[in-house]
Amino acid sequence: MNRPVRKAVFPVAGLGTRFLPATKAMPKEMLTVVDRPLIQYVVDEAREAGIEHFVFVTGRNKSVIEDHFDIQVELELTLEQRGKTAEFEALRRDLPSPGQHSFTRQQAPLGLGHAVWCARELIGDEPFALLLPDVLIQAPRGCLAQMMDAYATAGGNIIAVEEIPADKTSSYGVVDVGEGDGQTFEINGMVEKPAPGTAPSNLIITGRYILQPEIFTLLAEQRTGAGGEIQITDAMIELLKNQRFTGVRFEGRTFDCGSKPGFLIANVAYALERTDIAPDFLDELKRIITSNGGRP
């Protein structure tokens, strides 16, 4: 029987330099898509998938993330006094239960693999989910929940993948596709940022993982890879020699909110999903496009 996945790691220590000056005093994970911070969307996805404990790997100047997942006594009191019951209840729904979230520091920016390794004592000897907060996935059912379905059957390690044009693969981690039914398949290999024309497929790794705890032993070796950083993909390539990896082609649309175009497009897509916003927003969006002659 597969051991349950109860914990999730959220690496939130990055500096967010691509969004300066907005991120000079505010973590990029707290940038809002419509009216919710990026990190809240990703935590919601994990909660929907049955995650019970949320582990945030933070850095300096990230205390506002801890504050976001805490009770704001003065704010809640004001909302109650003003009869804003819906807003008060919405804030309470977003809060993890006491003892359900933990914070640890990544003291130096040594890469995603190093950030994951920093969570080792909080995860312990059990499988865990890893969710990158600057990747939003808009789907009727969360991406991680879809991955949990695959984990229940296949066990081992699960990676979310998506198809991109073949000429774009040199910017991503790419998987080598083995046997499967198209939606889920065994992963035969992985390569990080392959040279143009050498990628084993056009399926890239998409910021959602279920990993076995043996990954920590490999990350502890502190080997550097692309960009001189400790890469999670390099450790997964080593782990693949001894453990099964399954790829999941999830249903949903991905937004790279680590880039300005991706972040802006996510705001448009999520706004158009909101019945309280979409009609007026769409009308104004059409006016802007029309006034610009339909051109960028």
Distance of alpha carbon 251 from alpha carbon 137, whole angstroms:
9
Q: Is residue 284, in this structure, part of any structural domain at all?
A: no
Distance of alpha carbon 242 from alpha carbon 193, whole angstroms:
23
What's at 57, amino acid-wise?
A: V
* Number of helices and strands in the chain (H, E): 11, 13
Query: For 32-51, what is each residue's pLDDT tens digit?
Result: 999 999 999 999 999 999 99
Cβ–Cβ under 8 Å, residues 13 and 115 = yes
Region 174-178: mean pLDDT is: 90
Q: Is residue 293, in this structure, part of any structural domain at all?
A: no
Tell me: pLDDT of 154 over 90: yes
Residue 221 DSSP symbol: T
Tell me: pLDDT of 248 over 70: yes
Query: For 53-78, what is each residue's pLDDT tens digit?
Result: 999 999 888 889 988 888 887 887 88
Distance of alpha carbon 206 from alpha carbon 204, whole angstroms:
6
Cβ–Cβ under 8 Å, residues 11 and 133 = yes
Tell me: pLDDT of 200 over 80: yes
CATH number at residue 118: 3.90.550.10
Residue matched to tokens 């989910």: 129
Q: Is residue 40, in this structure, part of any structural domain at all?
A: yes
296 vs 245: which has the higher pLDDT:
245
Task: State both tokens at 99.
Answer: 């003892």
Predicted pLDDT at 180:
81
Q: Work out how many domains the chain is built from and give that number.
A: 1
Query: For 84-100, what is each residue's pLDDT tens digit?
Result: 888 777 777 877 778 89
Confidence of residue 296 (pLDDT cuts 50, 70, 90): low
Cα dihedral sign, 49-54-57-60: positive
Tell me: pLDDT of 226 over 80: no
Q: Is residue 277, in this structure, part of any structural domain at all?
A: no
- Counting residues of the chain whose pLDDT is more than 70, the rounded percentage is 98
Q: Is residue 291, in this structure, part of any structural domain at all?
A: no
Residue matched to tokens 């999730």: 8
The pLDDT mean for the chain works out to: 90
Find the domain containing 65 and state its range: 7-258
Predicted pLDDT at 295:
62
Query: For 100-151, what is each residue's pLDDT tens digit?
Result: 999 999 988 888 999 999 999 999 999 999 999 999 999 999 999 999 999 9
Predicted pLDDT at 293:
66
Q: Is 220 exposed, middle or buried (0-12, 13-18, 19+ CB in 10 A)?
A: exposed
Strands 135-138 and 173-180: unpaired
Q: Is residue 276, in this structure, part of any structural domain at all?
A: no
CA atoms within 13 A on the CB side of 289: 7
**What is the chain's length?**
296
Residue 92 DSSP symbol: H
